[in-house]
Amino acid sequence: MDLKFIGTGGAFDYEYGNSSAWITLNGLHILLDCGNSVYARLRRLELADQIDYILITHMHDDHVGSLSTTILHHKHKRSPSQKARILYPDTINGRSLRDRIRAYLSFSLPRPDEFVEFVPLSEVAGVSAIDTKDQHVKGMVSFGYSFEDETDVKVYSGDLGNKDTMFEYVKSLETEKKVQIFHEMTFHADASVHVYYKDLMDHLSSFEVYGYHIDPRKSPADNTVPMVVEQKEFLVEG
């Protein structure tokens, strides 16, 4: 399994690209989030024609802003006869994420089901959803995701204001496998919609954690959370 980042920035950190990941699991390629800057990077990296599934954490623009274009690319540049496939967690909140994606796409693609096949997440082995509804923005459906093979578990938080959710999830796995947690974070103490870096630092002695969704140039001198952008092994453009 491989999890590499296409972009590591937050909504306004255009130099680093909107946070998005490229997962290779059991020979399948999963694009995780498709924000404003992602389609351009997919083209530059020559990945746009290799997507097997698209997975979305939540409906903010920095996570879905170029989703319509990526789907249109699939139809017009890659395979007119085969629909793009979007995974959704097959739970109540997962189905409402699916319905939100469909509604969002319908502004650009009036009959989204002609372009997209929505596939329940349970059909893809090794991928699990972590329901974080209300934990990023109150009233918003959101998910983190976990990817697992025979030896490794990689957890991707998505945007998340609750500092405990991902760590409690990993503890609940009671696994002997190697676990890496890719966690969004903020350097602003007063931002309730993201997790403050000092709260992540509390977990560094027990977990392998890497921070993303930030501008690394704003990192305070006392930040010890390793940032994804500084780990070449986790970047598609290493």
User: Minimum distance from CB of 217 to Zn ion (Å)?
Assistant: 18
Please say whether the beta carbons of 64 and 35 come within 8 A: yes
Identify the residue among 159, 169, 211, 214 touching Zn ion (CB under 5 A). Answer: 159
Give least dist CB 82 to Zn ion, A.
30
Q: Whose Cβ is closer to Zn ion: residue 62's or residue 131's? A: 62
Q: Using CB under 5 A, which of the segments 55-63, 68-76, 114-122, 174-182 binds Zn ion?
A: 55-63
Query: Which own/partner contact pairs does 116-120 have at CB distance under 8 Å and 24+ positions apart?
Result: 116/71, 116/83, 116/84, 116/85, 116/86, 117/83, 117/84, 117/85, 117/86, 118/85, 118/86, 118/87, 118/88, 119/53, 119/85, 119/86, 119/87, 119/88, 120/87, 120/88, 120/89, 120/90
Residue 62 binds Zn ion, judged by CB under 5 A: yes
By C-beta, is 35 or 89 nearer to Zn ion? Answer: 35
Residue 60 interacts with Zn ion (CB under 5 A)?
A: yes
Find the largest Cα–Cα distance for the chain. Answer: 53
Query: What is the distance, to the nearest Å, from the Cα of residue 103 to the centroid of all Cα atoms in its chain?
Result: 20
Note the Cα 14 to chain centre separation in Å. 17
CA distance 172 to 158: 19
Query: Using CA atoms, how far apart are residues 94 and 58, in angstroms rounded to an integer?
Result: 10
Q: In this complex, which beta carbon is closest to Zn ion, that of residue 148 or of residue 159?
A: 159
User: Which of residues 59 and 72 has its CB atom nearest to Zn ion in the complex?
Assistant: 59
Applying CB under 5 A, does 148 fall inside the site for Zn ion? no
Kindly indicate which of the ranges 1-9, 61-69, 74-82, 119-127 contains the residues binding Zn ion, using the contact rule CB under 5 A. Answer: 61-69
Q: Could you count the other beta carbons within 10 Å of the beta carbon of residue 236?
A: 17
> Which segment (75-83, 102-110, 157-165, 229-237) binds Zn ion by CB under 5 A?
157-165
Q: Which stretch binds Zn ion (CB under 5 A): 124-132, 152-160, 175-183, 222-230?
A: 152-160
Q: Does residue 33 interact with Zn ion by CB under 5 A? A: no
Q: How many residues bind Zn ion (CB under 5 A)?
A: 3
Give the residues lining the site for Zn ion (CB under 5 A): 60, 62, 159
